[in-house]
Amino acid sequence: MDNTLSFKTIILSLLSLLFIKVCLSFVNKGNKNKLPPGPPALPFIGHLHLLKQPLHRTLECISNQYGPATFLHFGSRQALIISSQTLAEQCLTTHDLAFANRPQLPTVMLPYLIGMTNYGPHWRRCRQIAKEEIFSAPRIEASSDIRSIEVQDMVHRLFKTYKLSEKNLNGSTHYAKLELRNIFFELFLNMTVMVIAGKRLCGDDIKDLEDMKQYREAIDGWFELSGAAKVEDFIPLMTMLDLNGVMKKMRHVTHVNEAMMQKLMEEHLHKGVGTRNTVIGRLLELQRQDPDKYSDLVIRNICMNILLGGVDTPTSTLEWTMANLLNNQDILKKAAAEIDKHVGNQQLVQESDMANLPFLQCIIKESLRIHQIQIRCRATHGTARTCATPFVAQQQIRIRIHPIAPLLSTHESREDVTVEGYNIPKGTMLILNIYQIQRDPVNWEEPTKFKPERFETDNMEGKLMIPFGMGRRSCPGELLAMREMGLVLGTLIQCFDWKTVGDEPVDLAEGPLGLTLPMAVPLRMLYRPRLAMMEVLSKL
Distance, in Å, from the CA atom of 431 to the CA atom of 407, rounded to the nearest integer, reads 7
**Those residues with Cβ within 8 angstroms of residue 1's Cβ, 6 or more apart along the chain or in another chain:** none
Distance, in Å, from the CA atom of 305 to the CA atom of 293, rounded to the nearest integer, reads 17
Burial 266-289 (b: 16+ CB within 10 A, else e): ebbeeeebbeeebbbbbbbebbee
Q: Are 508 and 373 in contact (CB under 8 A)?
A: yes
Q: Are 511 and 519 in contact (CB under 8 A)?
A: yes
Q: Which residues are annotated as a binding site?
A: 475
Q: Which residues are annotated as a binding site for heme?
A: 475
Query: Which DSSP string do the residues of 491-538 spell out, in sequence order?
Result: HHHHHEEEEESSSSPP---B---SSS--BSS--EEEEEE-GGGHHHHH
Distance, in Å, from the CA atom of 466 to the CA atom of 438, rounded to the nearest integer, reads 9
Q: Are 263 and 218 in contact (CB under 8 A)?
A: no
Closest of 507, 522, 517 to residue 180, by C-alpha: 522
Region of residue 350 (left: phi > 0; alpha: psi -120 to 50; beta: else): beta
Q: Are 436 and 59 in contact (CB under 8 A)?
A: yes
**Those residues with Cβ within 8 angstroms of residue 208's Cβ, 6 or more apart along the chain or in another chain:** none
Closest of 328, 327, 350 to residue 339, by C-alpha: 350
